[in-house]
Amino acid sequence: MENGSLDLWDAAKLIAGEEDALMSRTTKHTGPIKSLQFNPLKPQVLATAGAKGELYIWDINDTSTAFRLGTAAARADDIESLAWNRKVSNILATGGAGGFVTVWDLKTKKSSLTLNNNRKAVSAIAWDPNNSTKLLTATSDDNTPVILSWNLRNSQAPERTLQGHDQGVLSLSWCQQDAGLLLSCGKDNRTLVWNPETGERYGEFPEVTNWTFLTRFNPHNPDLIATASFDGKITIQTMQNTNPSAAPAAQNNLDDDDFFSKAPTQIQGASFSLARAPTWYERPVGVSFGYGGKLVIFKKNDSAAGQARSSKIQISGFSVDSDVGTATDKFEEAFRSGDIAGICEEHLQNAKTEEEKSEWQVMKTLNESDGRTRIIEHLGFSKDEESDGPEEETAEATEPKEDSNIATTLQPNGDGAPKKHRRVVSMWGEGDDGDDDFLSDLAATKGAKTDDPFHLFSDGNTALEDSITRAIMLGNFEKAVDICIKQDRIADAFVIANCGGKGLLEKVQAAYLAEKKVGPSYLRLISSVASKNLWDIVYNADLSNWKETVATLCTFAEPSEFPDLCEALGDRILEAGTRKDASFCYLIGSKLEKVVGIWISELEEAEQAGMKESGDDSTFSVHARSLQQFIEKVTVFRHVTKFNDGEKSQTEGWKLAALYDKYVEYADIVAAHGQLAVAQKYLDLLPTRYPAAEVARNRVRLATQKAAPQAATRQQAAPVRTSSRTPAQTGYQAPAPASYAPPAQPQAPRAAPNPYGPPAGSQFQPAAASNPYAPPQQNYNPSPPAPGPYGAPASSYAPPTQGYAAPAQNYGAPTQNYGAPTQNFGQAGLGGVPPPPKTTGPPPKINKDVGDWNDVPMVVKPPIRKSTPRVAPITSPFPNQAGIASPPPTGPYQRSAPTPPPPPPKGSAPPRSMASPPVGPPHAGQQHLPRPSSVASSVATNPYAPPPPAQASTLPPPMAPPVARTASPYNLPPAGAPPSNRYAPAPSTQQFNQPPSGPAFAPPPSNSYAPAAQQQQHAQQFAPPPPQGSRPPVGPPPSAARPPSSGPPPAAKPASVPPPRTAAPPKAKHPAGDRSHIPASAQELVDIFTRDMQRVASKAPASFAPQVKDTQKRLGLLFDHLNNEELVKPDTIDELTALARALADRDYLVASRIQVEIQRDKTDECGQWMVGVKRLVSMSKATP
């Protein structure tokens, strides 16, 4: 203060407005104190300086200990300014009115250096925030309003002079956070921003109306600066305003409490802009995680001052939860080597709970060949024991246990029968005796008198017995038995029944057992066994004896029933709350979905338990470990039970959804640890349309994709995109690749659309191309309903496919196949095209979605273009379905999409069977194909119109084989055939190159949809009419039978046509390609043909490949027929079997003869397949 006293105030109290804020007042100075500053490094140290060169250093905790630097005599100049060094706490600089700057060292308490500020008063001093040897001095002299930059290493002259102020500089503030920023203000009312390191002046804040005597950076947030001026204001300003127009300039008084919320700014915003961002913004180092266990680190390189700054980036793998990684590795390794037993064993040892232990034990057991027996053993029963010692077993089981002998033959072995069996035994014992007697009696009666000493009617006999005897005598065993039963003389009844034949015996048995339901449980057991009704046992047996029940099941259950029985039992047990035992039942019953349910809850419990154990693990690793265990369990289980997920092709309602979720989660974790291949493996187990899986799969695929495929993809993407545009204009939506569409399919990366590719994919809707973003809802539709296999039809028009169209006709489809398509096309044909005659037949079976289609007339649907993006995402297992829908790529198809195809027969319908050939669409029949009404009239000129039928028909059949190959998409695993694949440039080639699919992929009735009715005439050349004569539809085409596939285009059919739905399917069908329903009688021939076909195919010269393929396809048709038990009659099957045997014996003469006979005698049964058989015979003959 002017009076030289130093007051210390408590800032907190001041702010709080308290009265006693003044802490102390001392008066050391003799004159005014002109400058003071706390030591930035030792905040309790304060320096004050003032008139007459007085400079005191204080410890504010004890103001009495202040000492003076320098001597009073040394200089008389007033000290105008002082500043502590920012780096070295004992260094202090003072600037005097006389123009000298003195640097003091508190250690020596002496001045160590003096700078000459041109003999002009030093109004302000600022130390470099980073460099202890640099400081700035300001001159308040109006004539030389400069700021000097000094380096103490050269105290003779300033390093740099900052000129800019018009009048004396009064204050400096060197930004602590960024040494490249300096504020200065002065008598010219201006506040300037400098870079003191270069001398560059960045700019100037708005001028005020009076001297600005102090300016400061906000020490905490240097974005803000405050400048005080003699006009009584403190101006708070920001260092930056990027948007001056939007923010009115604001100058705020300190009184404005809420000044922070305003946006103070400089009016002449444009006048300055920092050339570079302040350093406090500059993030020098950072880290982020990437997919696949990657860690990205960037950090600043050390660089000398003046050099360009630079950073480097480091991408590394990381695995912190190493146990996840190693566990995964280990498991995969063991699994690959097939060491299931080993895995089980290890888990057995490590199992924490009994529950777990038993599960692994069971799985181990299941893995062994003699599964059921082992299970029984596992349950504690030995088969030998059961046979040899029912007593032991009984004791062990604590309940009478059936002896397998008893059970199977109902002829108890009297020896060693336990006491409890006494009754039975005695019964039989008596019976035996009695039998003899009776027999002899009976024999005797023939010639003897009735009052023989063997009194048939002895005195002791009751009237009842008499009547029995009488009945027997009369041969009326039945009556005798009835009487016995009524009288509860079961034993007798049995004996009598024995004479009366099997039927009677059973009757007695039933009666007896019914009677004795409440009796010994073994009887009940026998009853069930005898009646083959194990369900009774399963549902009614006491759960405490579930083990025995299971043993029974193992012994007696039919293989086909076994799983369901086990499941039912498991359900009961689970209800009763014994999870462990229930899971056992599910396990042996191979009921994955149930087991999984239990395991998931176990998983959660294990996790909970794991959390409680205090270890060094994180909750995450516990979670991961539990998950790992779970996955291992499931994997082993799947392996040992050869589980085949029949639901993979479904689009919703998966029973295993819970498992799928776990798979996805596991895959994510594994992928996060960098094991992408493993992640992919599990993702491949998921249904192709499982929404969560698609994203994850795609991610893994892309992450694993190497550079080359990526490049290929990109190249490919371009043409595709192009094509997608063009067709779009013509009204057809060409397929756009969708990132989500292709399931991860390493073999076909080529087909995978480039994720970075055109936006046409699911990411962006082409139609919305003008938009920056297509709306998310449309772009991305992970939910199953979206897929719309029918959406793809447009693709069928893609030029490549067309090439096949014509030849395809030569083959015609199997006759039956015409039915459906005909019908459908007819219905669909709306553009005034008369339905072909055939359409008069009853509509073929149509799947349920048809109804939906009917709801919406095709014409009103928006052009399919809109929907294409959805098409792309289809990971439909039935990609080829697209072909079916070939006709009008109009809305209805889209519409139909959401309806999931009905599931194929459980477990029997491989997804591929759903596929229909892409060939179909472009058929000549297209003339009749329905089109959007707008186009219908111009069919003839339609650029996509296929070659005219005539042309097609001229093609000789031998040329056809390639056509068959168009069906080769079957060879692609369903998941692997992204729809877009076919549209990829020249996909056709690839298809041709596909190896023969082999019988497993029996050529589907690829033509089923393809040939529209119009082509009937061609078809008939090769295919005899169906049994019903000229009404092809009658024979239910296999294709029609395929549940979802039947979906073709009945949409928008003329109203006059009855809804397809009304047409009852003539017969339940199995999808083409399905071989699981081939009757036993035909199995042999199927096997032989298949084998021989493979042999031929493997040896046939390449030039014959088309013929080979065609033959395969034709045989496939035969197999389809057989599978469906249609067309080919049993006697024909026999003949074919004979033919096959001849073939197997290489007796080609016989084989051909039979073949000719069949062809001659069974014309009506011979479809295209006959040609195949014929050809096989000749090829087989030619093949060494």
Partner 1 sequence: MASGTQVIANTGHDDMIHDAVLDYYGRRLATCSSDRTIKIFEIEGESQRLIETLKGHDGAVWCVSWAHPKYGNILASAGYDGKVLIWREQSGTWQRIFDFALHKASVNIVSWSPHEAGCLLACASSDGNVSVLEFRDNSWEHSIFHAHGLGVNSVSWAPATTPGSIVSSNPGPGSTGNRRFVTGGSDNTLKIWVYDAATNGYKQEREPLTGHTDWVRDVAWSPTVLQKSYIASASQDRTVRIWTSDSASPGQWAVKVLHFDAAVWRVSWSLSGNVLAASSGDNKVTLWKENLRGEWENVKTIEE
- The reply to whether 721 sits near partner 1 by the rule CB under 8 A is yes
Choose which of 109, 601, 773, 1068 interacts with partner 1 (CB under 8 A): 773
Closest to partner 1 by CB, 100 or 654 = 654
Closest to partner 1 by CB, 222 or 918 = 222
Closest to partner 1 by CB, 650 or 971 = 650
Q: Segment 644-663, which members bind partner 1 (CB under 8 A)? A: 660-661
Choose which of 214, 410, 448, 611 interacts with partner 1 (CB under 8 A): 611
The region of 314-322, 332-340, 677-685, 815-823 touching partner 1 under the rule CB under 8 A is 314-322
The region of 416-424, 773-781, 988-996, 1048-1056 touching partner 1 under the rule CB under 8 A is 773-781
Q: Which residues of 142-174 are buried (b: 16+ CB within 10 A; e: fewer)?
A: eebbbbbbbebeebeebeeebebbebbbbbbbb
- The reply to whether 623 sits near partner 1 by the rule CB under 8 A is yes
Count how many Cα atoms sit within 13 Å of the Cα of residue 728 in the half-sphere of its side chain.
Answer: 19
Q: Segment 203-242, which members bind partner 1 (CB under 8 A)? A: 220-221, 223-224, 238, 240-242
Rounded CA separation 526/1072 (Å): 43
Minimum CB–partner distance for residue 628 and partner 1 (Å): 13
- The reply to whether 373 sits near partner 1 by the rule CB under 8 A is no
- The reply to whether 454 sits near partner 1 by the rule CB under 8 A is no
Closest to partner 1 by CB, 727 or 1073 = 727
Closest to partner 1 by CB, 539 or 773 = 773
Closest to partner 1 by CB, 30 or 619 = 619
What is the residue type of 819? G
Rounded CA separation 340/21 (Å): 81
Choose which of 96, 99, 674, 1073 interacts with partner 1 (CB under 8 A): 674
- The reply to whether 307 sits near partner 1 by the rule CB under 8 A is no
The region of 60-68, 336-344, 456-464, 689-697 touching partner 1 under the rule CB under 8 A is 689-697
Closest to partner 1 by CB, 799 or 898 = 898
For the chain, first and last CA: distance in Å?
A: 119
- The reply to whether 267 sits near partner 1 by the rule CB under 8 A is no
237 in Cβ contact with 203 (< 8 Å): no
Of 900, 903, 894, nearest to 871 (Cα)? 894
| SS3 of 996-1025 | CCCHHHCCCCHHHCCCCHHHHHHHHHHCCC
- Distance of CA 1079 to CAs 689, 1087, 1119, 1125, 1176, Å? 32, 12, 10, 7, 22
Rounded CA separation 1045/817 (Å): 12
The region of 318-326, 389-397, 820-828, 1173-1181 touching partner 1 under the rule CB under 8 A is 318-326
Closest to partner 1 by CB, 312 or 1160 = 312
Q: Segment 80-139, which members bind partner 1 (CB under 8 A)? A: none
Contacts 24+ apart (CB under 8 A), 532-538: 532/556, 534/561, 534/565, 535/565, 535/568, 538/565, 538/568, 538/569, 538/572
Closest to partner 1 by CB, 294 or 479 = 294
The total number of residues shown for the chain amounts to 1184
Closest to partner 1 by CB, 114 or 715 = 715
Minimum CB–partner distance for residue 204 and partner 1 (Å): 19
The region of 206-214, 275-283, 560-568, 1059-1067 touching partner 1 under the rule CB under 8 A is 275-283
- The reply to whether 292 sits near partner 1 by the rule CB under 8 A is yes
Rounded CA separation 107/91 (Å): 9
Rounded CA separation 769/756 (Å): 15
Minimum CB–partner distance for residue 232 and partner 1 (Å): 25
Closest to partner 1 by CB, 52 or 750 = 750
Q: Segment 570-609, which members bind partner 1 (CB under 8 A)? A: none
Residue with tokens 């002829």: 411
Which DSSP state fits 154?
A: B
- The reply to whether 664 sits near partner 1 by the rule CB under 8 A is yes
- The reply to whether 439 sits near partner 1 by the rule CB under 8 A is no
User: Could you tell me the two tokens for 1004?
Assistant: 């589907």
Closest to partner 1 by CB, 659 or 1173 = 659
Minimum CB–partner distance for residue 264 and partner 1 (Å): 11
Tell me the sheet residues that pair with 139. Answer: 122
Closest to partner 1 by CB, 203 or 1073 = 203
Task: Tell me the DSSP string of 1162-1176.
Answer: TGGG--HHHHHHHHH
Rounded CA separation 14/10 (Å): 6
Choose which of 12, 285, 518, 1080 interacts with partner 1 (CB under 8 A): 285
Choose which of 295, 473, 1144, 1150 interacts with partner 1 (CB under 8 A): 295
Minimum CB–partner distance for residue 270 and partner 1 (Å): 13
Choose which of 261, 349, 560, 747 interacts with partner 1 (CB under 8 A): 261
- The reply to whether 249 sits near partner 1 by the rule CB under 8 A is no
Backbone angles phi, psi at 616, to 5 degrees: -90, 10
1066 in Cβ contact with 1040 (< 8 Å): no
Closest to partner 1 by CB, 67 or 773 = 773
- The reply to whether 613 sits near partner 1 by the rule CB under 8 A is yes
Q: Segment 41-60, which members bind partner 1 (CB under 8 A)? A: none
- The reply to whether 24 sits near partner 1 by the rule CB under 8 A is no
User: Residue ranges of the alpha helices (H) in 1013-1104?
Assistant: 1016-1022, 1038-1041, 1080-1099
Q: Segment 912-951, which members bind partner 1 (CB under 8 A)? A: none
Count how many Cα atoms sit within 13 Å of the Cα of residue 569 in the half-sphere of its side chain.
Answer: 36
- The reply to whether 699 sits near partner 1 by the rule CB under 8 A is yes
Q: Segment 973-992, which members bind partner 1 (CB under 8 A)? A: none
- The reply to whether 995 sits near partner 1 by the rule CB under 8 A is no
Contact code string over 727-766 relative to partner 1, x by CB under 8 A: ------------xx--------------xxxxx--xxx--
Which DSSP state fits 246?
A: T
Of 650, 585, 912, 959, nearest to 808 (Cα)? 959
Minimum CB–partner distance for residue 754 and partner 1 (Å): 9
Task: Tell me the DSSP string of 714-760.
Answer: HHHHHHHHHHHHHHHHHT-PPP---SSSSPP-TT-GGGSPPTTS-TT
CA dihedral 378, 380, 382, 385 (to 10 degrees): 180
Choose which of 429, 746, 782, 902 interacts with partner 1 (CB under 8 A): 782
Rounded CA separation 901/889 (Å): 19
Q: Segment 321-360, which members bind partner 1 (CB under 8 A)? A: 321, 325
Closest to partner 1 by CB, 119 or 714 = 714
Rounded CA separation 752/739 (Å): 7
701 in Cβ contact with 746 (< 8 Å): yes
- The reply to whether 30 sits near partner 1 by the rule CB under 8 A is no
- The reply to whether 726 sits near partner 1 by the rule CB under 8 A is no
Minimum CB–partner distance for residue 911 and partner 1 (Å): 21
Sign of the CA dihedral with 494 first, then 496, 498, and 502 last = negative
- The reply to whether 151 sits near partner 1 by the rule CB under 8 A is no
Minimum CB–partner distance for residue 818 and partner 1 (Å): 40
**Nearest-5° angle of CA 734, CA 738, CA 740?**
150
User: Could you tell me the two tokens for 482?
Assistant: 């009835």
Choose which of 64, 156, 316, 941 interacts with partner 1 (CB under 8 A): 316
Backbone angles phi, psi at 694, to 5 degrees: -60, -45
